[in-house]
Structure 1
Amino acid sequence: MKPEYFIAGKIQSGGVSGRKLAGPVLKVAVGGIILGMVVMILSIAIGTGFKREIREKIVGFGSHIQVVNYDFNLSYEANPIRFNQELYTAIKELDGVKNVQRFAVKPGLLKSEEEMQGAVLKGIGDDYDTDFLESILQLGELPDFAGESPANEIIISATLANILNLQLGQDVFMYFFQEQIRARRYTIVGIYDSNLPDLDKMFVVADLRHIQRLNNWDADQIAGYEVLLNDFDKLDELWYEIYDLTASYISPEGAMLRAQSIRQTQPQIFSWLDLLDMNIAVIIVLILLVAGFNMITGLLILILERTNMIGILKAIGMSDWPLRKIFLSLAVRIAIRGLVWGNLVGIGLAMIQMRFGLVSLDPASYFLDTVPIHIDLSHILLLNAGAILAIFLMMIGPSYVATRITPVKAIHFD
């Protein structure tokens, strides 16, 4: 073992005298690193978890990618396209695609005995992935989408149920405005709550065949396809592939298709979510600066308390760089000790929250009922590597103080 590392180990273990003030100061520095690491881990875990939860809810209502008529707009009164089995199969066989499902939407007016509320009837078929709907379903069950004939059953949100004073099992009329006003009576078989009030207030889910009948569409006419992906990070890549597949498609009626991603249909929400990354980055930088300054203070005190030792080492011929390596090595060891404990505490708290959901939130303000947690191993490793590098770089300057101490004055220093 090189002498400088041996001396650093002795100083850390207390084998070298001079630990009068440095001991408490270094404990504070280690405590600062532990606290900082805990806050950084929780910030990343909560920020990532929040983005994932909100993103999955937005995707649950609109899918990752939609393939619709080229003139489709946000009026929710879409011109139909014809279901094409070859296109459906080609999209579904793309690497990274989880499911392709038919859908249609139609705006209308829900009316109970006391209240009325505008809503969008979303029709889905037996090929629809209902995992999201089942995850947010609070009461009742989903309609039977695979029956020989469509049942007059719908699921509505708890928000709409409260506005209209409706309950599970109750009938409700929905009015549709076309050439003439059409009324349909539906039975509420399920109530969901996604904690996203704007979307909850909008969507009512029913059988796709209801919308086909209301619009006088054929059985193979739909508003479009919804494409679910296995990995959100591949959204842009798969959007380009699906765009290429649909760009050359022209239906027998002359209709063209276009593919649009959830980022394109909900840009304001994803811009808001992207701001979270900036907030997390600011928190991490500030915490690293605070922890670094704590370490700088501790290292300077450590150097000053061992002025005599430095003078003796220089007097027997130790050069400046090995002398600086003593204190740089000591700083890194102390930092690693703080990081280890910080990781244990931070990951432990995150796992407890993930498992038990002890810290709750107000859904009206945060769109979630508990603090979300998502632990990504790559994020933790990058955070630790960055913290070690940042602290090491910040220690280079203070370690230079040891080289400015002259042997004659240092040996007589008390």
Structure 2
Amino acid sequence: MNYELFIAKRIIIGKKYKNSVSSPIIKIAITAIALGIIIMLIAVATGAGLQNKIRDKMAGFKGHIQIVNYDANNSDVSTTPVDKNQDFYPKFKNISGIKNIQVFANKGGILRTETDFEGIIFKGVSTDYDWSFFEEYLVEGKVPNFKQPRTRDVLLSETVMNRLKLKLNDTILATFLKTATSKLPSNKKYIISGIYNSGFAQFDKSMMIGDIREVQKLNKWTENQIGGFEVLLDNFEEIEVKGEEIYRETSSTLKSITIVELYQNIFDWIQLFDNNIWFIIGIMIVIAGINMITALLVLILERVQMIGILKALGSSNTSIRKIFLYNASYLILKGLFWGNIIGLLLIFIQYYFKVITLDPETYYVTTMPVYISFTSVILLNVGTLLLCFLMLVIPSYIITKIEPSKAIKFA
């Protein structure tokens, strides 16, 4: 029988324990543990949520990896065409983890109404395009259908629609920049078939999605000439590896570039979230540990008589330390239990009801996204329990300083 655990249980369930001087200090320590795990869960959930959501939105607009002409610059306008007939299209034969390969071509232009105008990038796509991203953020209408011989349907953001005072199914006049073969700008009319709102202001305010055949016609390209290819991956974490593999599989006239390379400043910014999360976790564990040390010392000083009696009966310092460490572990587990309940509840409320909103101009999202995995929850709880327990080991050595004769006499 583990008599140390038995005595620890008796202390925990005893009425004297609940009504003792140490009771409010113990409650404060439990509350500190609970608040610590709540803040850590929220920090991890919001940090991971923002990172994942921003990555997904950028991939929705640009793909994970772009394959373009080697001479092309990194601008949003396609100036140098790429031959659509490539060995890797429509599928890489030697690279796994590829979700989709889709063609695209961009053209800079201006949308005009009688009173306003707005600069846009007309992104032309084809029947191989993955519409799942825009379908998720579709506010009204439907995505264009490019299986028809020709369509002038386009997808516009709610931001542009509001600026130009447009509504669904309106016809909009677009003026496009001159090309190498034409000195005059081109005027075209398009029908707004769908409205989206991704919350990514940088792209929402300028991106119009339409038929790639329209861009080819504007640029005087043939049907086999495109701006490039967008590659969607199954796993974003493999983007660097897949980018190198794709580069080796393409010809010397083409280059592959990841969205991490295209938008280095944005990815550097979201990478800072990890540093902030680790800082918050460290601070919370230190605060919780200090509170638990205080509670443990109060528990020990409050039971000096019991310690003296146990030593007089032959108990070793190690055994008595175990009693108080068991007791402290119970308090830590109690704090973790309530912290997890409250923390996960707050995360679920934000996930389903979108209570906290953000400025899309700054954070690229309209509401605070949250993401928490079972693994993260387990690691946070196990890490907090172990670190707090280790922080209690050294203070527990105060028991070795208590002499039985003086402790019993003091009582």
Measure the CA separation in 1 of the matches of 2:119 and 2:133: 23
Deviations 1:334-369 (A, max 9, x none): 111211222122222322332333444454554433
The aligned residue for residue 81 of structure 2 is 80
Measure the CA separation in 2 of the matches of 1:143 and 1:198: 22
The aligned residue for residue 122 of structure 1 is 123
The aligned residue for residue 279 of structure 2 is 282
Aligned positions of 1:385-396 closer than 5 A: 385-396=382-393
Aligned positions of 1:15-414 closer than 5 A: 20-75=20-75, 76-91=77-92, 94-149=95-150, 151-178=151-178, 179-246=183-250, 249-250=251-252, 256-414=253-411
Contact 1:51 1:273 in 2 (8 A): yes
Question: How far did residue 3 of structure 1 move?
Answer: 2.3
Measure the CA separation in 2 of the matches of 1:316 and 1:97: 70
Question: How far did residue 380 of structure 1 move?
Answer: 0.7
Amino acid at match of 1:152: R
Amino acid at match of 2:37: M
Deviations 1:28-77 (A, max 9, x none): 21122122212211221122112211221111111111111111213313
Q: Could you say if the C-alpha distance between residues 19 and 40 of structure 1 is closer, same or farther in structure 2, counting changes exceeding 3 Å? A: same
Deviations 1:300-348 (A, max 9, x none): 0000000011112222222222222221222112111211222122222
Contact 1:18 1:305 in 2 (8 A): no
Measure the CA separation in 1 of the matches of 2:210 and 2:227: 14
Question: How far did residue 135 of structure 1 move?
Answer: 1.3
Contact 2:12 2:327 in 1 (8 A): yes
Amino acid at match of 1:33: I
Measure the CA separation in 2 of the matches of 1:233 and 1:367: 20
Aligned length: 406
Contact 1:65 1:259 in 2 (8 A): yes
Measure the CA separation in 1 of the matches of 2:197 and 2:172: 19
Contact 1:143 1:154 in 2 (8 A): yes
Q: Could you say if the C-alpha distance between residues 109 and 92 of structure 1 is closer, same or farther in structure 2, counting changes exceeding 3 Å? A: farther
Q: Could you say if the C-alpha distance between residues 162 and 16 of structure 1 is closer, same or farther in structure 2, counting changes exceeding 3 Å? A: closer
- State the SS of the aligned residue for 1:91: coil
Contact 2:201 2:360 in 1 (8 A): no
TM-score (norm 1): 0.93
Measure the CA separation in 2 of the matches of 1:359 and 1:298: 35
Measure the CA separation in 2 of the matches of 1:82 and 1:277: 41
The aligned residue for residue 253 of structure 1 is none
Measure the CA separation in 2 of the matches of 1:367 and 1:262: 16
Deviations 1:227-255 (A, max 9, x none): 11111112122112111111xx15xxxxx
Measure the CA separation in 2 of the matches of 1:288 and 1:354: 26
Measure the CA separation in 2 of the matches of 1:15 and 1:321: 26
Amino acid at match of 2:401: R
Larger displacement relative to structure 2 (302-311 or 235-244): 235-244
Question: How far did residue 17 of structure 1 move?
Answer: 6.6
Contact 2:78 2:105 in 1 (8 A): no
Amino acid at match of 2:134: L
Amino acid at match of 1:59: A
Amino acid at match of 2:247: Y
- Identity rate of aligned residues, in percent? 41
Question: How far did residue 391 of structure 1 move?
Answer: 0.3
Question: How far did residue 92 of structure 1 move?
Answer: 6.9
Question: How far did residue 297 of structure 1 move?
Answer: 0.9
Gaps of 5+ in 2: none
Measure the CA separation in 1 of the matches of 2:54 and 2:100: 20
Larger displacement relative to structure 2 (347-356 or 120-129): 347-356
The aligned residue for residue 9 of structure 1 is 9
Contact 2:125 2:209 in 1 (8 A): yes
Contact 1:296 1:394 in 2 (8 A): yes
Contact 1:92 1:100 in 2 (8 A): no
Amino acid at match of 1:317: G
Larger displacement relative to structure 2 (116-125 or 26-35): 26-35
Deviations 1:68-107 (A, max 9, x none): 1111213313311111252114427732111110001111
Question: How far did residue 267 of structure 1 move?
Answer: 0.8
Larger displacement relative to structure 2 (184-193 or 14-23): 14-23
Question: How far did residue 298 of structure 1 move?
Answer: 0.6
Contact 2:202 2:361 in 1 (8 A): no
